[in-house]
Amino acid sequence: MEGTLKKPRRLTKVELVGRRVVSTPRRRRRRPRPFHKVFGTGHLKAVSSEPATSSHQDDLPRPRYSQTGRYRAKRKSTESAWARGRESILDAIFRNYEMPNGVTCTSRECSNPVTYRCLDCGHNTYLCTEHCIETHQQKLHVPEMWKDGCFHSTFIEQDVWKSHQCSSGNFRNVSVVDSKGGNIQFVLFCSCESNAVTLVRLHLWPASPVRPIVAFSWDLMKWFYFMFVECHVPVRNLCQALSWLSPRGLQKQVKGLYTIMAMDTFSEFRFIQEQVDKFLTPRSSCPACPMVKGKLIFSLDGIFGLKRWKKSGTSANPPRHGTEFFLNQVDVDNFVENHGVKTGNKSHDCSSFQAGDLLRSKVKTALVDETGVFGAVCRHEVPLKFFSLKSGEKLGNAVFLLKHILSMVEKEVKLFVLYDIACKLESHLKIVDNSVAADDEPILPRVTLAVPAFHVYGHKPSCQMKYSPRRVSGFALSDGEQVERLWSFLRRFASITKEMTPSNRVDALTDALIHYRRRIIRNLPDLLVHRYNRAVTSLEASEQELKDATKSCQKGQNAISVEEIQQWSLQQESERLPPSSASGVDLSTEEQYVLKLKAFYEMSKEMENSASQDGMLFQTQLLFRRIKRLDEELQVFEGQRGQRWGEGSLEFLKALQTIEDRSRKSALSKIHTMSVDRWFLIQLKKRYADGQAIAQRLCKQISSVGTKLKREVEKFNADMVHLVTSSSHFPSEVTFQQVCDVTSSLWNCLGVDAVQQCHVPRHVRNQLVDIVHKVNHSKDELNLLKEEMLRMVTFFQEELRQVHDRLKEFAIGTGQHCLLKQKCSITYTSLEYCRKSFGSIID
């Protein structure tokens, strides 16, 4: 039936010559197979110009989806095996709930009947009543008693828990909570030490510092800690999970567990744990980043997912961690409030990002007290410094953080900063440096800015070429997305910290950052080796690509040299025409006179036509006043130069030809810039699959630039009609297909790709320049990684030396001495692992 037929889809294909609409019927897509795979002629396949990434065996025909088939077969086999053994597994689980026949007490030479079993002691531990009580003193196990044909969980009555022998003690009941629930224990407290210290010596964590009646096992608190910082589980959910782990048959000894934990009990435990780690490792910075001499590469960014509600209250005390990660918020707020530097004309901005815009940086709702977090992360993903945002992301936030980081490092350290709106920040810093006091140090001489690799695709192509980390020297292969990976880790704390007080929120985020830093440093040797191998692969591929490209683009009889390509890179900015000379802003006095004279003659003709028509009296009077005003201005010019030029005089036509040629050149230069930008985006689009987020952003950019290019072409053709003179050098009309072709001879009139200047077209030169940048950045990455590996080895050597020096001190206690001994062993293991991992690279 005709009603069931589907309409063919209309597909838009983006090509170098424009957008082309292709109509295709609805049919099943089939992946085309190469000729050599269909007919088995892999050994006859032509050699590709791209670098080889596999051996000759990869060219041979092989079954399609072989990896997927093996994976499915393995999954099917595993599922079948589970299904076959499911009944026997269930039967074994049911048998675990019964008392085995003929079982005896596991204690030696005991013939008493078995009445208990303890799964905490082992899977096959059966005890009599006497030995069960004897073996479970000073333990938090929950044995099961056999009664009425089933097992019942029960607590064993224990003796008094003592931290040390003392004659001035008193006994008090304490509810001890562990993974099996709560149990009341008798604890001996004395006047020699506080109650909290007594419980800590018993490996228990007190619920309060003064006369605690509830304590938590140390293992339970550590489990809470890692579930909080690693798995982002709120304390309320942890307490609910603990209630499910507790045996259901036992009476609940502790009520309101979450309320107890929320009263600074858990926060103080996290802080104490950090103080122990800080005693062992005083330095908290990245071991691979320079602090004295070298270049420090890091990223700046803000996250607006970590809000805090104003209704959550205020803090009576400052954060426990101080300025470990989060800077003094009062100093930040004062600086941002007084930082009223204007960024100048917004028409020159490369994008319309909301970040940095003072008009768009207001608090969106009065219910939010802190809108987010702004911070810096080094290129190894180690967190540096942070502070809270009270409104939107302003440029003053980045300026404050840059000044603070500059004060942290020596003057020999150069900062290489990646920021989403580095183009705006650089313009802003120029104004800031010009307005600083004499005793303040300017920022820009010590800072190099670039846009992260992913965010750069949201900028204009001209900004991409200027601020891309693959083009700006010094960034090596850093992508600048480390801070985004940190935000993905911190964003899951949003539901936890949004209802905290300011100090507790800072402490919770600081604990998360400390754990994240510890995790990154633990895996840092493997990360450096992985990046080194990736840089080697990138260098080999880019060198082969450069070799093939220079051979295919020969200039005359000789291949293009790398030195010549580097010279093109230096000339790329100078090839663009200055705005003043192209737009006609800097007109001479003679050219201004000619433009006014042209307008005078055109208005005179228009007034003659309107005077001959009825009902045009008002328009005629208006034209008369304008002509009179122009005549007075022309008389001022003519008073200096003499007689007025006629409309057909040679002097007038020659000067008018110069002005209109400049107008043609200015319009074509703008069209050429947009055409090259469009070509540049299309080349970037080819690197990514259609479904990737980067490819989708690039498609939007291509569509936007194409629409603007069409508008400029229409404007150019309309303006050319009104010009008086004609030119043999410039075209009088252009088409969209012509301007989309960057290799067209149309652009020879601009002098950009003239044959006498260079035999290589501009778009080919841009490709060669990109390849050379990739080669240079890969080499820089290899050299930088070698320095970082040496810096890591030096870091652990220095840490080991400091531990040995501290072991010689007499002021430390015995426990601290034992802890330093353990730290010495761990540091030595880390040092040997670094030497083993870096041995073949830094030797």
Write out pLDDT tens, residues 4-37.
444 445 555 445 445 455 555 555 555 555 544 4
Q: What percent of the chain has pLDDT over 90?
A: 33
Q: Report yes or no: 152 and 144 within 8 Å, Cβ to Cβ.
A: yes
**Is the predicted pLDDT of residue 241 greater than 70, yes or no?**
yes
Task: Decide if 753 is inside a domain.
Answer: no
Confidence band (pLDDT; 50, 70, 90) for 614?
low
Task: Decide if 745 is inside a domain.
Answer: no
Residue of 675, 680, 665 lying closest to 751 (CA atoms): 665
Q: Is residue 140 located within the same domain as residue 235?
A: no
Question: Angle 214-217-223 (CA atoms, 0-180°, nearest 5)?
Answer: 120
pLDDT of residue 341: 65
Task: Decide if 80 is inside a domain.
Answer: no
Task: Decide if 567 is inside a domain.
Answer: no
Please indicate whether residue 616 or residue 674 has the higher confidence score (pLDDT): 674
| Cα-based distances in Å from 169 to 139, 190, 210 | 22, 4, 16
pLDDT of residue 66: 52
Task: Decide if 5 is inside a domain.
Answer: no
- CA–CA distance, 183 with 251 (Å, rounded to integer): 9
**Distance from CA of residue 653 to its chain's centroid?**
59
Please indicate whether residue 392 or residue 206 has the higher confidence score (pLDDT): 206
Q: In what order do the strands lie in the sheet with 150-153?
A: 126-127, 116-117, 144-147, 150-153
SS3 percent helix, strand, coil of the chain, rounded to 5, is 55, 10, 35
Task: Decide if 344 is inside a domain.
Answer: yes
Q: Is residue 227 located within the same domain as residue 308?
A: no
**Is the predicted pLDDT of residue 338 greater than 80, yes or no?**
yes
pLDDT of residue 5: 46
pLDDT of residue 42: 44
Q: Is residue 535 located within the same domain as residue 517?
A: no
Please indicate whether residue 781 or residue 51 has the higher confidence score (pLDDT): 781
Provide mean pLDDT across the span 329-357: 67
Confidence band (pLDDT; 50, 70, 90) for 208?
very high
- 270 CB neighbour count, 10 Å cutoff: 23
Supply the mean pLDDT for the chain. 80
Q: Is residue 356 located within the same domain as residue 261?
A: no
**Which tens digits make up the pLDDT trace of 289-316?**
998 888 999 999 999 889 999 888 888 8
pLDDT of residue 234: 93
For 695, residues 6+ apart whose C-beta sits below 8 A from its C-beta are 685, 688, 689
* pLDDT-wise least confident of 520-524, 539-543, 558-562, 574-578: 574-578
Confidence band (pLDDT; 50, 70, 90) for 673?
confident
Q: Is residue 121 located within the same domain as residue 181?
A: no
Please indicate whether residue 109 or residue 4 has the higher confidence score (pLDDT): 109
Region class of 86: left (phi > 0), else alpha (psi between -120 and 50), else beta: alpha
Beta-bridged to residue 372, according to DSSP, are 389
pLDDT of residue 3: 45
Provide mean pLDDT across the span 537-545: 90
Q: Domain boundary residue among 221, 255, 280?
A: 280
User: Which ranges constitute the DSSP H helices of 459-523?
Assistant: 461-467, 482-490, 494-497, 502-522
pLDDT of residue 16: 43
Provide mean pLDDT across the span 422-441: 82
Return the DSSP state at 209. S
**Is the predicted pLDDT of residue 379 greater than 90, yes or no?**
yes
Q: Is residue 152 located within the same domain as residue 133?
A: yes
pLDDT of residue 590: 67
Confidence band (pLDDT; 50, 70, 90) for 697?
confident
pLDDT of residue 203: 92
Confidence band (pLDDT; 50, 70, 90) for 244?
confident
**Distance from CA of residue 562 to its chain's centroid?**
33
pLDDT of residue 435: 76
Q: Is residue 594 located within the same domain as residue 448?
A: no
Q: HSE of 652 in the Cβ direction (CA atoms, 13 Å)?
A: 16
- CA–CA distance, 97 with 180 (Å, rounded to integer): 18
Q: Is residue 325 located within the same domain as residue 445?
A: yes
**Is the predicted pLDDT of residue 45 greater than 70, yes or no?**
no
pLDDT of residue 352: 47
Number of domains in the chain: 5
Q: Which of 588-614 are b and which e, b meaning 16 or more Cβ less than 10 Å from the residue's Cβ?
A: eeebebbeebbebbebeeebeebeeee
Q: HSE of 391 in the Cβ direction (CA atoms, 13 Å)?
A: 18
Q: Is residue 229 located within the same domain as residue 106?
A: no
pLDDT of residue 1: 43
Task: Decide if 633 is inside a domain.
Answer: yes
pLDDT of residue 88: 95
Q: Domain boundary residue among 157, 183, 218?
A: 157
**Is the predicted pLDDT of residue 386 greater than 90, yes or no?**
yes
Q: Report yes or no: 363 and 390 within 8 Å, Cβ to Cβ.
A: yes
Give the domain range for residue 95. 88-157
Residue 270: what residue type? Answer: R
Q: What is the token pair recorded at 254?
A: 């502790």
Q: Report yes or no: 353 and 420 within 8 Å, Cβ to Cβ.
A: yes
Q: What percent of the chain has pLDDT over 70?
A: 80
**Which tens digits make up the pLDDT trace of 444-498?**
999 999 999 888 877 777 787 788 888 888 999 998 889 999 999 999 999 999 9
Q: Is residue 275 located within the same domain as residue 411?
A: no
Confidence band (pLDDT; 50, 70, 90) for 85?
very high
The count of residues in the chain is: 843
Residue of 511, 510, 512, 491 lying closest to 305 (CA atoms): 491
Provide mean pLDDT across the span 182-198: 86
* pLDDT-wise least confident of 508-512, 683-687, 761-765: 761-765
Residue 76: what residue type? Answer: K
**Is the predicted pLDDT of residue 776 greater than 70, yes or no?**
yes
> If you count DSSP H runs as helices and E runs as strands, how many of each does the chain have, helices first?
25, 17
Radius of gyration of the chain (CA): 38
Please indicate whether residue 310 or residue 588 has the higher confidence score (pLDDT): 310
Q: Is residue 248 located within the same domain as residue 309?
A: no
- 130 CB neighbour count, 10 Å cutoff: 13
- CA–CA distance, 26 with 293 (Å, rounded to integer): 63
Which helix (H) or strand (E) element contains residue 181?
strand 181-190
Q: Is residue 379 located within the same domain as residue 516?
A: yes
Task: Decide if 740 is inside a domain.
Answer: no
pLDDT of residue 758: 53
Confidence band (pLDDT; 50, 70, 90) for 124?
confident
pLDDT of residue 41: 42
Residue 240: what residue type? Answer: Q
383-389/144-147 β-pairing: unpaired
